[in-house]
Amino acid sequence: MKILSIESSCDETAAAVVENGRKVLSSVVASQVEEHKLYGGVVPEIASRRHAEAISGVVSQTLENADTSLDDIDAIAVTYAPGLIGALLVGVNFAKGLALAKNIPLIPTHHLRSHIASNYIAHPDLKPPFLCLVVSGGHSHIILVEDYTKMKIIGRTRDDAAGEAFDKAARTMGMPYPGGIALDKIAENGNPDAFVLPFPKVSGSPYDFSFSGLKTAVINLIHNASQKGDKLPVEDLSASFRKAVVNCLTTNLMKAADDTQSNTIVIAGGVSANSLLRNSLQKLCDEKNIRLYMPPKELCGDNAAMVGSQGYYEFLAGNTAGQNLNAYATKSIEEG
């Protein structure tokens, strides 16, 4: 089965053709990041307009790269939640038009479920059940993935998402948007023990995260130093902050793995590209004989190949929609 998939939830307009959920025939990503950089973050109004301009060309290019035409496509999968509402609506309406014109099924696909599915593309042997850490710009969840379309959240952030904390700390240090990537690179040259940062715990919820205190601690360090006319070493501060965030993520995840007796861990989302997170988890999982699956770096960020993969499993589960499909800024991954 060939699925044409579309993604427009944030600042990437993307399309892909994916066969039977696992084989990517083509994948095109048009990023708006350079434009949003000027404003230090994603401007929703600009994002919607750029999606509207780009989507037709991105889809045509995707079909051409796959050496196929709409006549050979069996279904359309589209990200319908969560994300920026105006941005999502561009993809959803375009997908509806294609499904209507070709009289083929329309498959609404949850963005975070798709992030998890990026691992199905990279790892042909991976199948649920497994324990999953989804860490993106908007979400930080520990999830029991019981089946391709059945998930249970057991841990979540109480305030900022991990990516958001990285971006805000990086911005205070003067790095360009999206700061998480820049901070990760700069941290490689710093001393992770130079600054002692708190380990925020959420009482009574051992798998939940809280990152806003960590972010504020870094911002205060910078402001206090600048009031005295000092400038803190950005490399050391980045390395210490990265270590603190990764420590929270890995500690809660490994506790969840212990408690649920999981022997397979999967990570997904933009922050799963973080080098320290990948290296630390690999070591921890090796020690405990746990299989660890990570998406290759090019599939960590937003793309439509992952939508085509998850869309296939949603289709098998009977999750299709009619022409009254709407987009939603928020929706739990459990609802799908």
The answer to the question of residue 136 lying near Zn ion (CB under 5 A) is: yes
Q: Are strands 264-268 and 130-135 parallel, antiparallel or unpaired?
A: parallel
Q: Maximum distance among all alpha carbons in the chain?
A: 67
Q: For residues 336 and 332, give the distance between their C-alpha atoms in angstroms, rounded to a whole number.
A: 7
User: Looking only at residues 258 through 287 of this chain, which bind Zn ion when binding is defined by CB under 5 A?
Assistant: none
What sign does the CA torsion over 132, 133, 139, 143 have? positive
User: Looking only at residues 153 through 212 of this chain, which bind ligand KG4 when binding is defined by CB under 6 A?
Assistant: 163, 166-167, 178-181, 184
| ∠ Cα 65 71 74 (to 5°) | 90
Interface with ligand KG4 by CB under 6 A: which range of 32-40, 133-141, 142-150, 282-290?
Answer: 133-141
Among 86, 108, 128, 138, binds ligand KG4 (CB under 6 A): 138
Alpha-carbon dihedral angle through residues 180, 160, 149, 267, given to the nearest 10 degrees: 40
The answer to the question of residue 269 lying near ligand KG4 (CB under 6 A) is: yes
User: Looking only at residues 285 through 304 of this chain, which bind ligand KG4 when binding is defined by CB under 6 A?
Assistant: 301-302
The answer to the question of residue 84 lying near ligand KG4 (CB under 6 A) is: no
Q: Are 239 and 169 in contact (CB under 8 A)?
A: no
User: Looking only at residues 291 through 310 of this chain, which bind Zn ion when binding is defined by CB under 5 A?
Assistant: 302
Number of residues that bind ligand KG4 (CB under 6 A): 20
Q: Are strands 75-81 and 106-110 parallel, antiparallel or unpaired?
A: parallel
Interacting partner of 166 out of ligand KG4, Zn ion, none (Cβ under 5 to 8 A depending on kind): ligand KG4
How many angstroms from the chain centroid is the CA of residue 304?
12
List 9's β-bridge partners, or say none.
Answer: none
Residue among 190 and 269 whose Cβ is closer to Zn ion? 269
Interacting partner of 82 out of ligand KG4, Zn ion, none (Cβ under 5 to 8 A depending on kind): none
Tell me which residues touch ligand KG4 (CB under 6 A): 10, 115, 136-138, 163, 166-167, 178-181, 184, 269-271, 273-274, 301-302
